[in-house]
Amino acid sequence: MSMQDPNDSFPEEIAAIKEDLENNDTAAAAAKIQEYLERQNNVPLNIAITGESGAGKSTFINAFRGLSNDDEGAAPNGVTETTMEVIEYPHPNYPNVKFWDLPGIGTTNFPAKKYLKLVGFEKFDFFIIISDTRFRENDVNLAQEIQKMKKKFYFVRSKIDNDINAERRKKDFNPEMALIKMKEDCIGGLQKQGVKSPQVFLVSSFELHLYDFSLLHQTLERDLPAHQRDALLFAMPNINLEIINKKKEAFQSKIKYWATLSAAAAGVPVPGLSICVDLSMMVNVAVDYVAGFGLDKPSLERLSASSGVPYTELLEVLKSPLAAVKITKVFLLKLLTQLTSTAALMALEEGSRWIPLIGIPLAAGLSFTTTYRALNYFLTELADDAQRVFKRAVGLNTSV
């Protein structure tokens, strides 16, 4: 039986878990699953942002983290390294993902090699070089030195909304053509300065859902090693429906492991529920879903601040009882009791392929099924909410 899942980012660990299950060693499998799931949530990703003063570095970092510039959380988590100020900004919901605000190389007067050494280039997974005009000699020197250090870099041409607004005043205004031309100019300029096949992305930090930000994500995703792709994905703001779907799929592919954990732990039934589930585990997973979709109260408040859509209007489109609330065991138990009695739950396709691998008694099987179905249900509802919230935030029609 093939259980290969394209979303598995630690293939060796998964193979070991499957082997334990096939040998009926559920306890060993459970321990490995726990470890695997924890490891997945703590994959570090370090993104360096550099560019001249005023290029839009801080605004880009804030927007990526779902913050507006005047947001309280936008204050630096300050550390001063060496002789230069390199400031670390963790993602609010995924602190394993860090953005590093580097000083513009031009303001430091260091040659590129020295600059990279001083900012501690080894720890960065890749560099984003930002400019609000054409890219200069400094940017090019830095890019070439980054390449020598066997690291990746991407050029972001910022404040595209300004350029488009300026174009708008022209008689023959054509936004598509203007964007193509801007990109060609940037690429041409970089090539003239000796950068081979430069990757340039046109971005407005005020409107990440427009222009090239999603292309930047796709490119980064393609370039990153498999185990870091989910870290990037979950840190992504919900800039389109595709991102929301990808997050859903990534969560979905883990449900069978959570259900197996629940089955392995089954023994004492939960009061009020006829079968055994691990309530505290389920609370953690639900909290994770909510955070991943940005449906927790702080994330929604930040979205309201950055989109200008009142918080209460965002709340209006929420349907899942799990969004924008504090999820407790008591709360979840109530929800589960309703769910198991109404059986308003999803099909069990993936789960039923997995069950025969686990040599478990009936009670545990029920626990597996309940956990599997409930998590599936929570996930689907929250993903739908995320879509509606996204549409409302960017002003699309939200009728459902």
Ligand X SMILES: Nc1nc2c(ncn2[C@@H]2O[C@H](COP(=O)(O)OP(=O)(O)OP(=O)(O)O)[C@@H](O)[C@H]2O)c(=O)[nH]1
Structure tokens at 310: 């009142």
55 binds ligand X (CB under 6 A): yes
Total of chain residues touching Mg ion, rule CB under 5 A: 2
Residue 203 or 275: the one with the smaller Cβ distance to Mg ion is 203
Q: Establish if 204 lies at the interface with Mg ion (CB under 5 A).
A: no
**Count of positions (residues) in the chain:** 400
Binding residues among 195-214 for ligand X as defined by CB under 6 A:
204-206
The strand pairing partners of 47, in sequence order, are 99, 126
Q: For ligand X, which stretch binds (CB under 6 A), given 6-14, 52-60, 91-99, 270-278?
A: 52-60
Round to whole Å and give the CA distance between 357 and 353.
8
Q: Does 159 bind ligand X (CB under 6 A)?
A: yes
- The label of the residue with tokens 């529920």 reads 273
Binding flags for Mg ion, 353-382, as an x/- string (CB under 5 A): ------------------------------
Q: At its nearest, how many Å lie between ligand X and the CB of residue 103?
A: 7
Nearer to ligand X, 156 or 236 (CB): 156
Report in angstroms how near the CB of residue 154 gets to ligand X at its nearest: 16
What residue 51 binds from Mg ion, ligand X, none (CB within 5 to 8 A, per partner kind)? ligand X
Residue closer to Mg ion by CB (options 129, 383) is 129
Residue 294 interacting with ligand X (CB under 6 A)? no
Binding-site partner at residue 138 among ligand X, Mg ion, none, CB < 5 to 8 Å by type: none
Q: Comparing C-alpha atoms, which of 119, 132, 115, 113 is closest to residue 52? A: 132
Cβ 138 to ligand X shortest distance, Å:
13
- Residue 40 three-state SS: helix
The answer to whether the beta carbons of residues 369 and 277 sit under 8 Å apart is no
Please give the Cα distance from 388 to 400 (Å, whole number).
8
Confirm or reject binding of residue 158 to ligand X (CB under 6 A).
Answer: yes
* CB closer to ligand X, 166 vs 330: 166
CB of 11 to ligand X, least distance (A): 39
- The residue count for binding ligand X (CB under 6 A) is 16
Binding residues among 28-57 for Mg ion as defined by CB under 5 A: 57
Give the Cα separation of 29 and 357 in Å (integer): 11
CB neighbour list of residue 180: distance below 8 Å, 6 or more residues apart: none
Binds 53: which of ligand X, Mg ion, none (CB < 5-8 Å by kind): ligand X
> For the window 58-77, what string marks contact with ligand X as x by the rule CB under 6 A?
xx------------------
Give me the least distance between CB of 400 and ligand X, in Å please. Answer: 31
What is the DSSP annotation of 220-275? HHHHS-HHHHHHHHHHS---SHHHHHHHHHHHHTTHHHHHHHHHHH--SPPTTSSS
Continuous H helices in the chain: 11-22, 26-41, 57-64, 105-108, 112-119, 137-148, 160-168, 175-192, 213-223, 226-235, 241-252, 255-265, 279-292, 297-307, 311-316, 329-342, 349-354, 362-393
**DSSP per-residue string spanning 167-232:** HHTSTT--HHHHHHHHHHHHHHHHHHTT-SS--EEE--TT-TTSTTHHHHHHHHHHHS-HHHHHHH
List binders of ligand X among 231-270 (CB under 6 A).
none
Cβ nearer to Mg ion, comparing 54 with 95: 54
Residue 286: alpha-carbon gap to chain centroid:
16
Residue 158 in the binding site for Mg ion (CB under 5 A): no
Alpha-carbon span 184 to 179, nearest angstrom: 9
Residues 297-326 that bind ligand X (CB under 6 A): none
Q: Does 162 bind ligand X (CB under 6 A)?
A: yes
Q: Which is nearer to ligand X, 64 or 234 (CB)?
A: 64
Binding residue (CB under 5 A) for Mg ion from 40, 58, 205, 371: 58
Minimum CB distance to ligand X, residue 97 (Å):
19
Nearest alpha carbon to residue 81 among 112, 123, 125: 123
Please name the amino acid found at residue 50. T
Binding interface with Mg ion (CB under 5 A):
57-58
Binding interface with ligand X (CB under 6 A):
51, 53-59, 104, 158-159, 161-162, 204-206
